[in-house]
Amino acid sequence: MSYITDKFENGEVVIKDFVCGWEFEKGFHGTYEHRPLMADAMSELLEAGLITQQHVDATEAAREVSNKLAIEAYIKAQANRTPEQIAEERFEARAAFGPGEKIVNVFTGESFCT
């Protein structure tokens, strides 16, 4: 057995409209959320005969929507950072990468030099 098959067989993976996922009381938007499983987990469940291809396809489509919403929430949060939060992030980047490195956030396009 694997981690995901064990969780599935223990009833911890929830299926809603063929979408397999985890349940969260507070998701990215502060409300109840059904977060779809990743492709590798779905492959394991399919190979184990626990789900069908219809589950895999529905979960992949739902995950694409979930990822889009999460990225949008992240971009919004980045735009609303305080000067103190920005300073702390840049301090951490300098500690991680050293001075003189150009850092680019691939989601927001923001760039700065450490």
3-state secondary structure of 22: strand
3-state secondary structure of 102: strand
In this predicted structure, what is the pLDDT of residue 92?
97
Q: Strand 111-113 vs strand 14-16: parallel, antiparallel, or unpaired?
A: unpaired
Q: What is the pTM of this model?
A: 0.79
Could you report the per-residue pLDDT of 88-98, keeping only the tens digit for each? 999 999 999 99
CA–CA distance, 34 with 69 (Å, rounded to integer): 13
In this predicted structure, what is the pLDDT of residue 27?
58
- Count the neighbouring beta carbons within 10 Å of the beta carbon of residue 73: 14
**Mean pLDDT, contiguous 10-residue spans, the chain (114 residues):** 94 96 75 90 97 98 94 96 97 96 96 95
In this predicted structure, what is the pLDDT of residue 25?
80
In this predicted structure, what is the pLDDT of residue 24?
85
